[in-house]
Amino acid sequence: MTGAANVHLVGAMLFPTGEDTMRSVAESLGAAAEWIPDGETGERSMWLTQHQPRFASTPGLARKTYTEPGSKLVSDRVYHGLAEGASPEDVELPTLGYAGWAQASFAVFDQLQREGVVAAGTRFQQAIPTPLAFVSSFIHPDEQHVLEPVIERAIENDIRAMCEAIPHDRLAIQWDVALEFGILEGVFPHTLADPHADVVERLVWCGNAVPADVHLAYHLCYGAPYDIHMVEPSDARLMTQVANEVLGRVGRTVQRLHLPVPIERDDRAFFAPLADLSLPPETRLFLGLVHHEDGEEGGRRRIAAAKLFVSDFGVATECGTSRTPADPVELLRLQAQVAAEAAQPPNGDVAVPDQQHATAPPPEVANARVREIAEQIDCPVCEASAGTPCALPGEGALPRPHYPRYLGALTATVMPAPRVGAG
């Protein structure tokens, strides 16, 4: 799809409220942002964590501990499974909350659009995690296959309700595809018989669950719970393969595809697989190559490498930025600057190395960083003080497994040195 490069906002942003998010986006990006999310502020800023109480209180479910053999990310963990004597039909989970959040935020969006703050023709964007994200995160492995349809129905109900409340020509839905790549890269536990085929099949289901006249995006993601991936992709090959298969099978138009780009990668080897990306003409590619650590200069290097293999794309951050220790307004302005750079012809003055020449931290370093951050922050959910276990035991391997809100808590003294791109 040929057109001026613009910005895709992945979803979560470090603003106090949805209105603050939408006003800031409209002011900072203007026409470059054709879809505007509400920033997933407050309890949603940690993506899935706010759902733990929902599953804990769902009739028909009970908490069950599971020891994950060989997992690189989680060990002893509390999941949820069928209560004693219950069947899947007894589980009362009509919604996961996304319809309610979308309707409340769209009311604000609509008012801002009426006031002229948000440009006419701009769509409200709602992000939704895939059913597999909920299944893998909350459902006991022995019962995932029988409870996955329950999760799917809840998400279908949310999509139906938000599409009844919001005009289709003013709505865009983004699927957050994160746990899937943890599974495919071998770092997240799963119960899938054929991981690659099963992931593709589920992502096709996701696309087909959205009405054809509602705009649709797939955000392929490697997770960034503390502004760092759960594992770094070796190159764009796996993302390209999954995207080609999903876009080739889904029964509707997909308007946007977002792929993350690690800060360390400004080399030919990472971007070369994009030459095999088969996008329908209606689908626009967005590359998550904007990083606050190295700013416009880093974006320029990654753009130069990408343009050797794909000529037309918009830009984005690699993931949501509600967990990024950077001024959110400045980060929006940075995306606008990098988008303008991407709209220019290829810059032959930027040298592009053949292979990766900056090193990403290995998973054990990243996980140690997560633990260090978690241990130094009071939990705003259960109010446990830093360095002590949370009041709800067994939620995960980390001492702070279930808090979703910590705006402003990630200061330079708490967060270790960030990843650094090559200069």
Q: Nearest CA to 378 among 365, 394, 397, 391?
A: 391
Q: What percent of the chain has pLDDT over 70?
A: 78
Q: Which amino acid makes up residue 356?
A: Q
Evaluate if residue 115 carries a pLDDT over 90.
Answer: yes
Q: Provide the token pair at 108.
A: 């604000």
Q: Are 165 and 109 in contact (CB under 8 A)?
A: no
Q: Which pLDDT value is given to residue 14?
A: 84
Identify the bridge partners of residue 218 per DSSP, sorted by sequence position. Answer: 175, 257
**Is residue 114 within a helix (H) or strand (E), and if so which, with residue range?**
helix 98-114
Q: Which pLDDT value is given to residue 408?
A: 31
pLDDT tens, residue by residue, 197-214: 999 999 999 999 999 999
Evaluate if residue 400 carries a pLDDT over 70.
Answer: no
First-to-final CA distance of the chain: 32
Identify the bridge partners of residue 171 per DSSP, sorted by sequence position. Answer: 124
C-alpha atoms less than 13 angstroms from C-alpha of 289 in its C-beta half-sphere: 30
Is the model more confident about 234 or about 246?
246
pLDDT tens, residue by residue, 286-307: 999 999 888 999 999 999 999 9
Evaluate if residue 365 carries a pLDDT over 90.
Answer: no
pLDDT tens, residue by residue, 144-164: 999 999 999 999 999 999 999
> What pLDDT band is residue 12 in, cutting at 50, 70 and 90?
confident
Q: Are 314 and 5 in contact (CB under 8 A)?
A: yes
- Helix (H) and strand (E) counts in the chain: 12, 9
- pTM for this entry: 0.85
**Backbone dihedral angles phi then psi of residue 47, each to the nearest 5 degrees:** 70, -75
Q: Are 303 and 295 in contact (CB under 8 A)?
A: no
The residue ranges of every structural domain in the chain are: 18-375
pLDDT tens, residue by residue, 253-291: 999 999 999 988 999 999 999 999 999 999 999 999 999
User: How far, CA to CA in Å, does 306 sit from each of 102, 260, 264, 319, 345?
Assistant: 34, 12, 14, 18, 12
Classify domain 18-375 by CATH architecture: Alpha-Beta Barrel (3.20)
> What pLDDT band is residue 333 in, cutting at 50, 70 and 90?
very high
Which residues, at least 6 apart from 81, have a Cβ–Cβ distance to it below 8 Å? 61, 62, 64, 139, 140, 142, 143, 147
Q: Distance (Å, rounded) from C-alpha 369 to C-alpha 158?
A: 35
Residue 49 DSSP SS3: helix
Q: Which pLDDT value is given to residue 404?
A: 33
Q: Distance (Å, rounded) from C-alpha 83 to C-alpha 58?
A: 10
Q: What's the whole-number mean pLDDT along residues 10-32?
A: 92
